[in-house]
Structure 1
Amino acid sequence: MSDNKKNIENQLIHGFDLNLLEVFELVYVYESVREASLRLGRSSSAISQSLNKLREMFSDPLFVRSGTRLIKTATAVNIHSAINENYLGLLNNLQELVSNNVRNSVNVFCSPYCGVRVLPVIMNYVTQENIECNIIHQTLELDEVNLDDQLSLRQVDLIFDINPIFRTDIVNTPVSLEPIIWVCSKNHPRIKDTLTPEMMRNEKFVNFNSQGMSVKQGQEEIKDKYGQRNIIFSSASVFATVAVVEQSELISPMPAWLFNKYGSSYMLKQLKSELPLPDLHIYMISRKSTLRNDVVRRISEGVVAGFQSGM
């Protein structure tokens, strides 16, 4: 028997279904049987059966339900730590063996605002260049699972977000710099066109929920200079903010592009202020190995070129 055959036999765990690794990793990342079933195209009962096999093998519950999510046990964390790197390496190697011509879909994750900014650029480029592929857009929400894991498990090809991911196998490409301005309703009874330090202390404000470094930096600068603002509405949606500000006396930060696009429709006005707000960066995030695919690479280059041309 060859050494290679001996090595394979020595590494075999008799009776272990290697497909269980895929189930385990997806349930681990999404903390949900339902989400794992959707990604794998299998029923929730089939996923539960696979989990039961894993629980029996490791003599541990692995995941314990808490509300709508599954909480990982210490054993599950240890399993993930032990297999994750090799499992992702296997996925990388398999992907590189697949011909570039067989890919006919590109998965794009982004927030609603990033989607409005980026998706028209993508579709315009794909159409002009006659790239034969299907763009699948999924909305990125605050409660979305860790983007790092999304990229690792191949659930997404391109992410557009204000938060870069700092990892050696990840490429963060700045695609847009969005100036942020102060706005309020055109019918605001006390404010004409200038936001004074006194108004910063006395008026009511909207706060944008974000983990982005530039957003948090701007919020801290305002707090340091003017003290704690009176925030009575918080949202992660700039579109919800537009509607709320129009019908209220609230003051809000807003991307200048969004104001220029929709400000007049929503009866908003821009306010002058002695405190300029930090710009908002939008990054295109992808794995280096994913960019080896010709279709993804061409689309990513098209996005950069599109924003540089002022689309």
Structure 2
Amino acid sequence: MHSIPHAFDLNLLLVFRALYQHKSVAKAAESIYISASAFSHALNRLRDVMEDPLFVRMKGEMLPTKKAEEIAPSIFESLALISQQLFQVEPFDPISSTMEFVIGTTDYTAFCVLPSLMKRLSVIAPNIKIRIMFEQQEALFQSLVLGHVDAVIGYSEQGEMNHSAIVEQLCFSDRYVVVVPKRLYSTMRLEDYVEAKHIRVSAWGEHHGIVDRVLKTMGITRQIALELPNMMVAPYILESSNLIMTLPSKAVEQFRTIHEIDVFDLPIKVPDYTVNLYTLASHQTTSPQSWLSQILLNVFEPANI
């Protein structure tokens, strides 16, 4: 098996191709944006490696030797293959693409966005595949930076996002409400809220969200009877228990259509539940990822959620 000589500079192949095509050191150097002097030094290095002059000046032109003619097809083919496999960007056509996009999110956000997203994609990109990933926020941000995830959608109540490579765009804000079993309460006072036993949803894997932090400033601690990693099973538990829970209102609007529950305003003031779209900066994203980001932002427009 033959191998490339140690420390061989593959840029020398570009020098070979440029001179083969232009037959002039000055024109060849200009075509690859280096000086004529640097080009001559590179050509001499290539001659030493190949142990052949490769190009000889005749009648005012640099003409290829027999050796150069023999190796030219392989060099051109190799450069074309590298360009095609590593650097050529094919136009992205949503209507025909079969790409799979990976979106990191929480179950609440998926609950809000997926019906509208899949409906829209069925029309404008029917062969696109979507894979949803549920992980802790920090792990999803790392996957986004490493290119394993195309976008992250989630709430930002737990503090500032501190990844300089990631861009944050607001999708929507929502208010918290209290969800209780049907006819268990006629009102929801602070005393009722504190005395009740709660279901807590820890979507990002954190155990003390904004509600608990606000209560702590008031010297109050909730009684957590059940902690869940997602909210989808919670309404079924509410229907057969005396537990209560605090959720963003948009999810509750959907639950009310199929579950026997009552909804009250939260008896304490907490910041709104803010959902953001997290992507890499535009110069680090591919054309398909930029397209996906725009589709997601459109789905989150007020008329669509």
TM-score of the superposition, structure 2-length normalised? 0.61
1:123 to 2:123 alignment? no
AA paired with 1:230?
A: Q
- RMSD, aligned α-carbons: 3.1
1:99 maps to 90
Q: Given the alignment, which residue of 173, 179, 184 partners 1:183?
A: 179
Code of the residue aligned with 1:114 in structure 2: it is T
- Shift of the alpha carbon at 1:125? 3.1
Query: Which secondary structure does the structure 2 equivalent of 1:149 belong to?
Result: helix
**Which residue of the other structure, out of 171, 176, 201, is the alignment partner of 2:194?**
201
Using the alignment, how far apart are the partners of 2:280 and 2:297 within structure 1? 16
Cα deviation digits, residues 92-113 of structure 1 (max 9, x gap): xx97653343874122222222
Structure (1 or 2) with the greater helix fraction: 1
Partners of 2:145 and 2:224 lie apart in 1 by 37
What is the CA–CA distance in structure 2 between the aligned matches of 1:153 and 1:249, rounded to whole Å? Answer: 45
1:271 to 220, 239, 264: 264
Secondary structure class of the residue paired with 1:310:
helix
**Structure 2: which 5+ runs fail to align?**
10-84
**Residues 165, 285 of structure 1: 8 Å contact kept:** no
Partner of 1:140: 134
C-alpha contact (below 8 Å) 1:108/1:158 kept by paired residues: yes
In the alignment, structure 1 segments of 5+ residues that lack a partner are 10-93
- Check 1:95–1:135 CA distance in 2 against 1; reply closer, same or farther (3 A cut): farther
SS in 2 for 1:239: coil
The number of aligned residues is 218
| Offset of residue 133 of structure 1 | 4.8
Quick check: 1:205–1:231 contact (8 Å CA) kept in 2? yes
Deviations 1:214-272 (A, max 9, x none): x7233211233261121111112111222212211111101211111112421110124
Runs of 4+ in 1 over 3 A off after TM superposition: 5-9, 94-98, 100-104, 210-213, 289-292
Q: Name the SS of the counterpart of 1:238 in structure 2.
A: coil
C-alpha distance 207-152 of structure 1, shift in aligned 2 (>3 A): same
Q: Secondary structure at the match of 1:101?
A: coil
**Among the aligned pairs, what percent are the same residue?**
16
Which residue type is aligned with residue 122 of structure 1?
L
Between 255-264 and 281-290, the greater mean CA deviation after superposition: 281-290
**How far apart in 2 are the matches of 1:202 and 1:254?**
18
Q: Which amino acid aligns with 2:170?
A: P
